[in-house]
Amino acid sequence: MSTADQTVHADVLVIGFGKGGKAVAAKLGRLGKRVVVVERSARMYGGTCPNVGCVPTKGLVHRSHKRRPEDRAQDWYERSVREVQSIREMMRQGNFDTLDSLDTVTVITGRATFLDPHSVSVVTSDDRLTVTADTVLINTGSEPVVPNIPGLAASRRTLSSTDLIETTTLPKRLAVLGGGYLGIEFASIYGAFGSEVTILEHADRILSREDDDVAATAEGILTGEGIHIITGAQVIEVRDGEQGATILYGKDGQQHSIDVDAILSAAGRIPATHDLGLDAAGIRTTSAGAIEVDEHLRTSQPHIYALGDVRGGPQFTYLSLDDSRVVLDQLTGQARRSTTDRLAVPHTLFMTPPLATVGMTEKEARAAGYRVAIASQPVAEILAMPRAYAVEETRGMMKFVIDASTDEILGAALLSVDAQEIINTVALAIRHGITATELRDAVYTHPSSTEALNDVLATIVRTDEP
C-alpha cells in the first residue's frame, strides 16, 4: 500500500520544527507519547534561529570584525559565510538527530494542511498521507514581508534577510529599507564587512521606540562606522538597471535617488499561516494573520496550541522556548503556567556594540505616571568598567529608568560591550523587585562588564516631574 493511502495516528502532531515545538516533541516522546513532527523543509530542522536567524547572523557579526587589513573584503566575506553555513549544517543535523533518535517520534518532511480539527494532509516530495492526532501544536514560525512599493518585489536586487546571508557575494552598495532592529543589525554587519550601506527609514529617526538619547548614541556609532542613515525617507519606486537598481525616495518634499547593488527589505516578518488550511480546522486568526491564542496558548480549538512567532507578539526564540513550558504544563503538569507569568523580557539588537533593553523607556515611564529617576553614563566614563578598555570598545552608554518612590528599576537600555549578558542580570532584578541601590552595591567579578552597575547606578538623578 502506498503512503498516499496511509493514515498515521499520533498522540501529538507538531506542525513546524521550531524551538517550542521541538522541545515539546522531545519531552513527550521521552514520556512515551507517539509524536509526529511535520516540517516543510529539510533546511529548517530546528526552526528559524539556527538556520536563517540568530545563529548565522550572530556568526557573521563576530566574523565581520575579524578581517585584517590585508584580507580582501570579498574573500573574507565568502569565507565567513562558508564557516557560518558549516555551523548551521551541524546544528541542523543535531536538531534532527535529537528527535529522530527517539523511537516514539517520527519526523516527516512535507507540507501540512488541515482537513479538519484533528486531521492534516501531508504532501511530501513524492507522496501524500493523512496524519490524525488527539493534540496538535502549530509552530510554523514567520516569514519576511515585502512592502507594497512599486518595483520592489519584482526587482532582481531585492533580498530578504534569509536571501542575503545565503549569498557569498558581498554587495558593494547595500540599501536597507527599515531602521528597526533587523535593518540596523544587518547594516552593522555588512558595513563592517566592507559594503557601502545606506539605511532608508520612513520615521523621523531610527529606533523610534527607544528614548532620544539612546537612539542618538546608537545612530552616532553607526554613522561613525560609515553607515549612511536617511530618515524621513518615503521610498517611491525601485527600478532595475543593468548594473544594479535605482531606489527613488522622497524626503522633505523633494525626490531623490540612490543606486545600489542589493536591497534588503527589512520591514519585519509576519506569521506563516496563509497555507495551513486553518479555516478547515476552525482556528481563528487575528487581523495581522497570527493564530489567536489565550494565555495558555490554546487556539479557538482547545486541543490545538500555537507556539512561537505564528501566535503573534514579539518574535524571539527564547519566547518560543518558554511557550513550550506553558504547553507542557498544560499537557503534563498542573496547568498553572501561562504567558501572563512573563515579566521583564529582555531584547538585544546585535549591532556593535550591542543594544540590550528591558522594561520601560523613560518616556513610557513618564507617560504611565511614575515619578522617574534616571541613572545614565557614557561607557567611556564608567571607571568601574575596565573591560571596555581592555577589549577596545568604549562606545555606547548605559541608562536606567527608576521609580523614584520605591527605588525599583522600571527599565534599562544598555548600549555597550557585553550588553546582551548584563541585561539578563537587570531583567532578573526587575522580576524580583531588587532595588537600584541593591544592584549598585552588589559585588561583581573584576574585570567584568557587569561591575559597571556599581558606577552607573551611583549617578541617579531624581526628579518629581511626572
Which SS3 state, helix, strand or coil, does residue 250 take?
A: strand
Tell how far CA 211 is from the center of its chain. Answer: 21
Cell numbers at 418, concatenated: 557585553
Q: Which residues pair with 177 in a beta bridge?
A: 200, 265
Question: Which of the 8 DSSP states describes residue 340?
Answer: G
Helical (H) or strand (E) element with 61: helix 54-64
For 110, phi and psi rounded to 5 degrees?
180, 175
How many whole angstroms separate alpha carbon 206 and alpha carbon 200?
Answer: 9
Residues 6+ apart with CB under 8 A from 428: 344, 434
Cβ(301)–Cβ(282) below 8 Å: yes
Annotation says 65 is catalytic:
no
The single residue of 65, 274, 303, 446 carrying the catalytic annotation is 446
Residues present in the chain in total: 466
261 burial level (CB within 10 Å; 0-12, 13-18, 19+) = middle
How many whole angstroms separate alpha carbon 262 and alpha carbon 258?
Answer: 11
First to last CA, the chain: 73
Residues catalogued as catalytic: 446
